[in-house]
A and B are shown apart, each in its own frame.
Chain A
Amino acid sequence: MADKLEATEETNRAQALFDLTGRVAVITGGAGLLGTKHAEIIAAAGGSPVLLDLRQTKPEVTAAAIAKKYGVDATGLAADITQLAEVENVRDELLARFGRIDILINNAANNPKVESSGSKVWSRLENFPLEVWNDDLRVGLTGAFLCSRVFGSEMAKRGKGVILNIASDLAVIAPDQRLYRQEGVPEDRQPVKPVTYSVVKTGLIGLTRYLATYWATSGVRVNAISPGGVFNHQPEAFLAELHQRIPLARMAHADEYQGSILFLCSDASSYMTGANLVVDGGRTCW
């Protein structure tokens, strides 16, 4: 058949399978801890990362460092992804500069640390402020929708592209609120993982499946990854509790998702769409 691809040394080599040379990859929340890591692996594979983030996070500084380190074209652009006009401006700027957009990584999300106990525990559902709910959904879901609409349409027009949504293990399982418990604090003051985190991340899986079939015949593949927590010097007691819930008995390293990102952004996953790749050290398998 015409589209038969022989199993050859050349086509199966990692260097070719995972190559992103010449591809332009937009990463929302690009200046954050994980956004920067996503941009690095895009750059290491020869692609041109475009880091979108709010002005105060200085995405252009992060991009300049990546450009220097990997010797690629890396761009940092200040934009509020919840504003359609700003996202469209970014598209116009990128098309003028590169003439193409190949990859979108919907990574931006509000993720406030679970608070330590205070006089008013806003994260508890009974107190959860409507403004916080609206803002979290605006960044995590509306932002992903707008970026998909604007950049994804461009890919569909060209007949090729990849969208990768960064979900979470909390898109697959419920938060275990016992993890965040503090000794000696009354029940109604116990800190919890905010409800919006589960809702936003689960919503991204729905967006993933919707877009996967919507653009399937336009050559745009859409997948999600669901990462577990990243080690960032959390308190010992929290780590000990969490490790018991993970078969690999540890949190992820900050750079440990890069393999998954590159796998799903490159042609190495050319027959995958609508999938959710769970990278959680086994937390959801038992």
Chain B
Amino acid sequence: MLVALDRSSLFSLQGKVALLTGASGFLGRTFAETLLANGADLVAIGRPAKLSKQEQVWSEKYGPGRVHCYYVDMYDLEALAKSLDEITQRHAVDVLINNAHELTPSSGFNTPAGSLEQGTMDVWMRNLTAGFCWPALTVQKIGAGMKDRGHGSIINISTMYAVVAPRPTLYEGTTFLNPPAYSASKAAMIAFTRYVASFWGRYGIRANAILPGPFSNTEDAGPNSVQVGDPFIEKLKANTSLGRIGRAGELAGALLFLASEASSYVTGQSIVVDGGWTAV
């Protein structure tokens, strides 16, 4: 196999079909745009509230027939399985991106109810379902077709908090909290990534993870998320080597690299995009 050296074709997704979960979220939107802008057709899974609006925007921007949305509450695992079956019948997925996660008080974010001391089983299970059950299901269902076709790239969006713990001093005196269930579920996701890479490498399927550092959602910050100008952002910046938080677009390169032939010999790996947070 010869690699096309032209940078637009080495990293091209032309003619590929990419399935993305959590497409309408903060990072999901960047991933979706990156996939579409580089030639992939997009199959998106998510809840209708935000995704249906995005579907319209993207269809207008990238042309009709490029975006296919499947509306489902992913916590309904039976419904999710049914959607995935439908997707496998209609689309030959080349790239699977497990990006969805619930970052709300229901899953223990920014509420004492998510803490080590008080975290409820419900909080734990919502995180494990998102970080572990969703990828397990999508990989099993979508991976079957990839095996048949002899190629595929699976990209799991984990977090730097799967390899280092949040520091309590970072959160003290703020209303922010990053629950232990999140770290644990995203670490499980990395172990799962390696397992898939190990067992399906022989079928030409690659599985890798991206571990983002601090990428605060300041674009459409809800009441529960960090606001522009919040001193908490300064604390986050101080924990990185580069001295700044990441911009959503700075994950586009890693995604394109892993989704395309540019990474044809990369599997079982975690790419850490954290401004040097974990380097120290």
Q: Which residues of A contact B (CB under 8 A)?
A: 1, 3-9, 11-15, 17-19, 40-41, 44-45, 209, 212-213, 216-217, 221, 228, 246-249, 252-253, 255-260, 262-263, 266-275, 277-282, 284-286
Contacts and interface: CB of A to CB of B under 8 A. Distances in A.
A286 B257 contact: no
B266 interface: yes
Contacts of A259: 3, 10-11, 257, 260-264
B213 interface: yes
A17 B202 contact: no
Complex A-B, nearest 10 residue pairs according to Cβ-Cβ distance, in ascending order: A285-B268, A259-B262, A274-B279, A268-B253, A247-B201, A216-B241, A14-B11, A44-B5, A7-B30, A271-B250
B201 A249 contact: yes
Contacts of B256: 12, 14, 17, 268
Given A4-B219, A274-B279, A278-B269, 9 more contacts: A12-B252, A228-B265, A248-B206, A260-B257, A271-B275, A275-B273, A281-B267, A282-B197, A282-B198
B12 to A, nearest CB: 7
Contacts of A246: 201
A263 B276 contact: no
Interface size class of B (residues with CB under 8 A): 35 or more
Interface string B1-34: 1110111101110000000000000000110011
B7 A213 contact: no
Contacts of A5: 247-250
Given A282-B201, A285-B198, A263 B252 contact: no
B53 to A, nearest CB: 15
Interface of B: 1-3, 5-8, 10-12, 29-30, 33-34, 36-38, 61, 194, 197-202, 204, 206, 213, 218-219, 228, 241-244, 246-254, 256-257, 260-269, 271-276, 278-280
A14 B265 contact: no
A18 B37 contact: no
A17 B12 CA distance: 12
Nearest to B213: A271
Contacts of A41: 5, 10
A241 B201 CA distance: 17
A258 B8 CA distance: 13
B7 A247 contact: no
A267 to B, nearest CB: 8
26 contacts: A5-B248, A7-B29, A7-B34, A11-B252, A12-B30, A12-B256, A14-B7, A14-B8, A17-B252, A41-B5, A212-B276, A248-B201, A259-B257, A262-B7, A267-B253, A268-B252, A268-B257, A270-B250, A272-B274, A272-B275, A273-B242, A273-B275, A274-B280, A275-B271, A275-B279, A280-B265
